[in-house]
Structure 1
Amino acid sequence: MKCPFSPTNTSLAIVASALASQSRAQCPDYTSYAQIPHDPRSTGPLALPYMRPTPACRTFNSTAVEKVITDMKSLLKDPDLARLFENTFPNTLDTTVKYFNQSENLAFIITGFMHYQALFAVDPKLATLVKAVINNEARYVAQYPYCGAFQPPPESGLAPSHNVWADGVTVNPPVDNRTVFECKYELDSLCGFLKLSRSYYNATKDASFMNANWQAAVDQIFRVINEQAQGTFDANFNLISYYNWTGGHGALSPMVSNQGNGEPKAYTGLVGTHHRPSDDLSVFAFLTPANAMLSVELSNLAEILDSAGKLHNVSQQARDWSSRIYDAIWRTTVVDDIFAYETNGFGGRYVMDDANVPSLMSLPYLGFLDKQHPTYIATRKILFSRQNPYYSAGKTFNGIGGPHIDPWHPWPMSHISAIFGTDNDEEILESLYVIANNTNGLGLIHESQSIYDPSSYTRSWFAWANSYFAEMILDLADRRPGLILKENKSYKPTLMAFNNQA
């Protein structure tokens, strides 16, 4: 067997890469491609289009992903849902992998991989890509833990993008815009890095990603946790500020209040954040769902470190913080059996929800509590009602949105979270078809949708929502198969299933 780094193989790889790059250079921009329906249409009443790029224009190919698509197309009883799954499940790999070099262990993508986690163990190529994504993210987090959007790695040869929305924004500590695309501090970004790490480890049991880059990133995550859990003032009313962000000028959101430092907060055991998962400003610093996600992922971090026999001191620190945050959520955010979306430690509460995950609606999906928990059930009723300022309903569409767009443009993602959060078949089907019937004939999941006009939506192509939708369909195929599959028989893309069907 030839060495994979032999001159012959390296030359072939360079030629193949050049040919692939030349081929993709002739491909249409997917943002434009996604705004026009393409044939063939599904055979269901919605006649949904086929929205995958041609094979030559896809940014990554996975045999396991294609196998799951084939399986689900034959198993789903509604051909329109089958087409939605066919369009959405591969969307991340089809459109968002901008760079991947296995020998460098580096990859650069636009969105996440959570809906593929069951396949990491059955597709070595996909697992290698995910490992490279983790390593690249680790380098970013280790250097700029308060930032959540980055430029391509220098090894890629891709030029940094100029983000006009970052013009005129001052960040302290300062950042290098050749590395950082935007440095809004969102606590959930750090949680996402931890979640991808544990998903990869749990699927593969490969601990080699826990390298120096990754350990440095984890150290910086704990630095942010410790810094942002502190109150605004010390005992002598000295201002405690480790990070601030000013907007204005071309920035998409305004300046963080109080000269970029945020609303005052008192110590509670929760961790503060300046921005929500939507990029919008937090009203109060302690975002309940982001802290719930952090508590879960810190507990998971401890488990994978113990399983791998590594960093026992970090494992204990993770367990301590996970427990502290968990207790603080129940102690400080729940009143009359209702979770607040945000709190400040002074008694201030904002009862609402935002569709972006992590959200209150997504607490069962995050693994924070069981969907049957009384407090979740009570909160859920509030969130899908007029008592939530960002819930709205029209004749054909309804849901939870957020200030990122406006109150009359709910997000389909809120219905996806709602499906994850219930075992009620009627509720599941109602939310499922609210989503399916509101793609404006494009067969992809929009960012937001008007309650007044079906043709008024934002982002015909929203890879995050597409991924989340496909993950939900697979969850239903396993958890409630009789609702969507031709036979009431659970389907789950496990290693055993792939071996049996090989």
Structure 2
Amino acid sequence: MDDFLNQVRRQAEGKCEPELTELFVNCYTNTLDTTIRRMEDNTAHVITGDIPAMWLRDSSAQLRPYLFQAKEDEELRELIAGVVRRQFQYICIDAYANAFNESPSGACWAKDDPEQNPWVWERKFEVDSLCYPIQLAYLLWKNTGCTSQFDGNFHEGVEKIFQVFRKEQYHEERSEYRFIRKSPLFRDTLSRDGKGALVRSGTGLIWSGFRPSDDACTYGYLIPSNMFVVVVMGYLEEMARTLFSDRQLEKEAGDLREEVRQAIEKEGRTYTEEAGMIYAYEADGFGMYELMDDANVPSLLAMDYLGYPADPETAGNTRRYILSEANPYYYKGAKAAGIGSPHTPPGFIWHIAMAVQGLTCRRREERLEILRSMAATTGGKNVMHEGFSCEDDSRYTRDWFSWANAMYAELFLNYLGYELEIK
């Protein structure tokens, strides 16, 4: 770790203010120092920070900046592989759950089901939760050559992922999944006795109950998450062909990839007066759309970051739309401008979205400007937060949020020229 940090410090000299570098060090070391526990079965459990459970999504995103160091660090490489192995253990337990316990303790966010599996912290079905572990497994192999993550649970988990995705393309007719939570927050449960908002089956899109924010979808076809499916199915195609010599898996992944891609381009776009043709955030297959973007990833802002092969004109229009006040969750104030979320109070910008904006912009100077803005909005805590008030950064949510710290670290490394091979 020290060698890598010293290397980064040397590379940063003369390119940015020293305080940006020291903030990077603080954020970069946060996940390894505070959130990861090595387990006796050669896996690793990763908490989000101030919540003691492991989210499939967050644990992947938290470790992504370490892939650069893992190229030269065998111990770190194996630690990340251990996280992937644990993720697929969890998927084999319950492919509909989004967050899990370190042990079968029965701990949970809320007792949503009297017979809930004791490993499961929360059972909100989110399409992206099944994409992230595939992404981390692929990026670890592609960027470091590591293959120890591809054990029996990986292959069993991939089969379960296909089963769920195919079933949820016909959610209305084929899915048994239901989620009901007794909560005063309407976004914390699903309508229609837990079945969720009505969608038209057979479009090729995959239904998701919840967004990456863990908020319920307004319309069941979450377009950024379906974009993520297209990307990771491409990863599975390549791994099936190159690593596993599995023609059936290669074909199955390729078929689903193309089916979902075509559905996004047909069902996930709509015309707006403000920006022309754009990608919607959500759709229902009947012609209704949610036009917005959310700070959590996958998002529309993160299309390039994830590697989705978007239509260039539509993608450009979409970026302009969501980085404007046409997006109801784009905020601008005395402290900063950026995208927030209905998950946090109005006027609260997310550091994650700021980092994604930097990682997907074309000008290197803009990345530096965003790093400076992120550093100036920590509320004096010298770490990133979930959301902060665009008028007063001393008002923020979550003191300890490892994903946001990882995103600052990744943007800082990107500014210095570090880039992952993502396809």
Return the TM-score normalized by structure 2.
0.89
Structure 2's unaligned 5+ residue stretches are 48-58, 272-276
| 1:217 Cα offset (Å) | 0.5
1:98 and 1:109 in contact (8 A); partners too:
yes
| 1:79 Cα offset (Å) | 0.9
1:63 and 1:123 in contact (8 A); partners too:
no
User: Are 2:38 and 1:99 equivalent residues in the alignment?
Assistant: yes
1:231 and 1:264 in contact (8 A); partners too:
no
| 1:196 Cα offset (Å) | 0.8
1:242 pairs, out of 176, 190, 209, with: 176
1:365 and 1:420 in contact (8 A); partners too:
yes
2:20 and 2:372 in contact (8 A); partners too:
no
| 1:98 Cα offset (Å) | 2.3
| 1:121 Cα offset (Å) | 2.5
1:108 and 1:153 in contact (8 A); partners too:
no
1:83 and 1:443 in contact (8 A); partners too:
no
1:407 pairs, out of 330, 346, 362, with: 346
| Equivalence for 1:175 | 116
User: Are 2:159 and 1:219 equivalent residues in the alignment?
Assistant: yes
Structure 1's unaligned 5+ residue stretches are 1-61, 155-159, 234-239, 479-490, 495-502
User: Are 2:416 and 1:477 equivalent residues in the alignment?
Assistant: yes
1:398 and 1:410 in contact (8 A); partners too:
yes
1:288 and 1:342 in contact (8 A); partners too:
yes
| Equivalence for 2:52 | none
Please state whether the residue corresponding to 1:245 is helix, strand or coil.
coil
Please state whether the residue corresponding to 2:412 is helix, strand or coil.
helix
Count of residues paired in the alignment: 402
2:106 and 2:120 in contact (8 A); partners too:
no
User: Are 2:196 and 1:257 equivalent residues in the alignment?
Assistant: no
1:477 and 1:492 in contact (8 A); partners too:
no
AA aligned opposite 2:385: H
AA aligned opposite 1:132: G
* Alpha-carbon distance in structure 2 between the residues aligned to 1:84 and 1:271: 39
* Alpha-carbon distance in structure 1 between the residues aligned to 2:214 and 2:113: 16
Report which stretch shifted further, 118-127 or 246-255: 246-255
* Alpha-carbon distance in structure 2 between the residues aligned to 1:431 and 1:208: 37
Structure 1 pair 473–161 and aligned structure 2 pair: CA distance change class (3 A): farther
1:185 and 1:273 in contact (8 A); partners too:
yes
| Equivalence for 2:291 | 351
* Alpha-carbon distance in structure 1 between the residues aligned to 2:365 and 2:244: 46
* Alpha-carbon distance in structure 2 between the residues aligned to 1:355 and 1:493: 22
| Equivalence for 1:335 | 270
* Alpha-carbon distance in structure 1 between the residues aligned to 2:73 and 2:110: 38
CA RMSD, Structure 1 to Structure 2 (Å): 2.3
| Equivalence for 1:162 | 107
Please state whether the residue corresponding to 1:248 is helix, strand or coil.
coil
| Equivalence for 2:274 | none
* Alpha-carbon distance in structure 2 between the residues aligned to 1:206 and 1:431: 33
* Alpha-carbon distance in structure 2 between the residues aligned to 1:289 and 1:296: 11
* Alpha-carbon distance in structure 1 between the residues aligned to 2:372 and 2:256: 40
| Equivalence for 2:132 | 192
Please state whether the residue corresponding to 1:181 is helix, strand or coil.
strand
User: What does residue range 269-280 of structure 1 map to in structure 2 within 5 Å?
Assistant: 269-280=204-215
1:166 and 1:251 in contact (8 A); partners too:
no
1:68 and 1:493 in contact (8 A); partners too:
no
Per-residue CA deviations over 1:144-181 (Å, capped at 9, x if unaligned) read: 00001111146xxxxx3733x312x138xx531x2111
Please state whether the residue corresponding to 1:380 is helix, strand or coil.
helix
| Equivalence for 1:284 | 219
User: Are 2:77 and 1:127 equivalent residues in the alignment?
Assistant: yes
AA aligned opposite 2:247: H
| Equivalence for 1:299 | 234
* Alpha-carbon distance in structure 2 between the residues aligned to 1:365 and 1:211: 28
| 1:120 Cα offset (Å) | 2.5
User: What does residue range 17-28 of structure 1 map to in structure 2 within 5 Å?
Assistant: none
User: Are 2:336 and 1:433 equivalent residues in the alignment?
Assistant: no
AA aligned opposite 1:175: Q
| 1:209 Cα offset (Å) | 2.7
| 1:283 Cα offset (Å) | 0.5
Per-residue CA deviations over 1:203-239 (Å, capped at 9, x if unaligned) read: 3434343221111100100011011111524xxxxxx
| 1:451 Cα offset (Å) | 2.2
| 1:447 Cα offset (Å) | 0.6
Structure 1 pair 305–162 and aligned structure 2 pair: CA distance change class (3 A): same
* Alpha-carbon distance in structure 1 between the residues aligned to 2:287 and 2:74: 50
2:364 and 2:415 in contact (8 A); partners too:
no
AA aligned opposite 2:401: F
| Equivalence for 2:250 | 315
User: Are 2:388 and 1:443 equivalent residues in the alignment?
Assistant: no
Report which stretch shifted further, 270-279 or 452-461: 452-461
| 1:400 Cα offset (Å) | 1.1
* Alpha-carbon distance in structure 1 between the residues aligned to 2:38 and 2:303: 33
AA aligned opposite 2:341: G
AA aligned opposite 2:316: I
* Alpha-carbon distance in structure 2 between the residues aligned to 1:430 and 1:64: 27
Please state whether the residue corresponding to 1:279 is helix, strand or coil.
coil
AA aligned opposite 1:405: T
Per-residue CA deviations over 1:45-77 (Å, capped at 9, x if unaligned) read: xxxxxxxxxxxxxxxxx4564454444554643
1:109 pairs, out of 38, 42, 46, with: 46
User: What does residue range 451-462 of structure 1 map to in structure 2 within 5 Å?
Assistant: 451-462=390-401
| 1:462 Cα offset (Å) | 1.4
1:166 and 1:250 in contact (8 A); partners too:
no
AA aligned opposite 1:284: Y
Structure 1 pair 314–63 and aligned structure 2 pair: CA distance change class (3 A): farther
1:362 pairs, out of 296, 302, 313, with: 302
| Equivalence for 1:148 | 98
| 1:123 Cα offset (Å) | 0.7
| Equivalence for 1:388 | 327
Report which stretch shifted further, 241-250 or 359-368: 241-250
Please state whether the residue corresponding to 2:416 is helix, strand or coil.
helix
User: What does residue range 491-502 of structure 1 map to in structure 2 within 5 Å?
Assistant: none
Structure 1 pair 120–310 and aligned structure 2 pair: CA distance change class (3 A): farther
Return the TM-score normalized by structure 1.
0.75
| Equivalence for 2:56 | none
Identical positions, percent: 31
